[in-house]
Chains A and B, each alone.
Chain A
Amino acid sequence: MKMSYFPGCTLKNKAKDLDEYARKSAEVLGITLEEIENWQCCGGVFTTSKDEIATKLSSVRALMDAKSKEQPLVSVCSACHNVIKQTNHAMRNDSEFADKVNRYMSENEPYNGETEVLHYLEMLRDKVGFDSLKEKVVNPLKGKKIGAYYGCLLLRPNSVMAMDDPENPTIMEELIKAIGATPVVYGMRNECCGGYVSVESPELAKKKSDAVVANAKAQGADMIITACPLCRYNLIKNGADIPVVYFTELLAQALGVKEAENE
């Protein structure tokens, strides 16, 4: 199965691991991720204001590209996914916005949010299935107690993102189980780490990320996984004393494609 893929700027630079492991693991699971040609940065934040048009065009271009290939559009970075999904929702539901965008793009066929937008985790759950994933695991991560860190971007606003129960998500815990490890559920997993203000208010960012790590540890986690490069950066920078890794790294390890690449 082929799907369109939007890596985003962080996965092409600081988070190369997130990208590589995601592609290789997808191959093992029977999905080829085809990178959108000439994709442009999503901008990192979806501006909710209705009079912001230009900042959303890069997402629209990627969505149109996927539509032309009749493929779903997959991304791995929480921020890219959030921006693209919210833009798609606006194209589908905000006719004034969509009209302005379509006039500007002046393509033959208007775009009205037809593309299916998937986070990689949703691709695993809904297209591959965690049961089939489990069958492909060659190196189960037995004995690891892993706290999934969702943060904000994957889940909110739920009226648009609709990935999971925003207050009691399970998608990453299911993944952790499928790769043979034990999920650790902790209250702070869907609270904000303060990543956006790590420059503006470093003390606030530290306070928030300390609270996340402390809570995960108190519930017994010896590792945290995330899909967000900024969360990972912020948690590590503020002194997390357990490893904080991308979920794709563990997935690649369990599927046996991580070692292969290091040889």
Chain B
Amino acid sequence: MNKKDLLREEIIRRSGVNPKKCMKCGKCSGTCPAYEEMEFHPHQFASMIDSGDIEPLIASESVYKCLSCFACVERCPRGVEPAKLIEAVRLSVIREKGANRMTANDVPAMVDEETPQQLLVSAFRKYTK
């Protein structure tokens, strides 16, 4: 297996998603609240992962723009669960050595008097390994 296929396998196994089920209706992207901020949209994650075109996704800021709101999962008529694919790609990025998006040093600048702990723990879960 070449590197491209290995990466595809890895993302599919980790996410538990079968991107082949996607019928390219675009409903996920239509409902996505982060649509305008994303270079690649949820339906593109499904099709690009299926075709093994994953490097551009890895290099894109889109993995950090996803709000993990699960609207795309809920509203996909084919049960594809695009949010899980996006998360699997994000993990491929932040699991690399030194690739954490956020460190403890960033925290003081993030918080104000009212910041709930939930925001900090969630940010660490999403951006840091």
Contacts and interface: CB of A to CB of B under 8 A. Distances in A.
Given A79-B118, A157-B70, A208-B33, A199 B13 contact: no
A166 B74 contact: yes
B53 to A, nearest CB: 20
Interface in B54-92: 64-65, 67-71, 73-74, 81, 83-84, 87-88, 91
A100 interface: no
Contacts of B64: 197, 200
A216 B84 CA distance: 30
A48 B64 CA distance: 16
A184 B37 CA distance: 30
Given A49-B15, A157-B74, A55 B118 contact: no
A9 B67 CA distance: 21
A214 interface: no
Interface stretch (B21-29, B42-50, B121-129): B121-129
A158 interface: yes
B118 A156 contact: no
A237 interface: yes
Contacts of B34: 194, 197, 204
B119 A195 contact: yes
B116 interface: yes
B84 A48 contact: yes
A245 interface: no
A43 B125 contact: yes
B12 to A, nearest CB: 11
Contacts, number: 125
B96 interface: no
A201 to B, nearest CB: 6
B8 interface: no
Main secondary structure on B side of the interface with A: helix
B30 interface: no
Contacts of B123: 196, 199-200
Interface residues of B, number: 36
B33 A191 contact: yes
A47 B87 contact: yes
Interface in A29-65: 41, 43-45, 47-52, 55
Contacts of A204: 34, 37, 65
A170 to B, nearest CB: 17
A199 B84 CA distance: 22
Contact of A230 (B88, B91, B110, B122): B122
11 contacts: A8-B118, A9-B118, A14-B117, A77-B118, A155-B74, A156-B74, A157-B81, A167-B74, A197-B65, A230-B116, A237-B114
Interface of B: 13-16, 33-34, 37, 64-65, 67-71, 73-74, 81, 83-84, 87-88, 91, 110, 112, 114-119, 121-123, 125-127
Interface of A: 8-10, 13-15, 41, 43-45, 47-52, 55, 77, 79, 152, 155-158, 166-167, 191-192, 194-201, 204, 208, 228-230, 232-233, 236-237
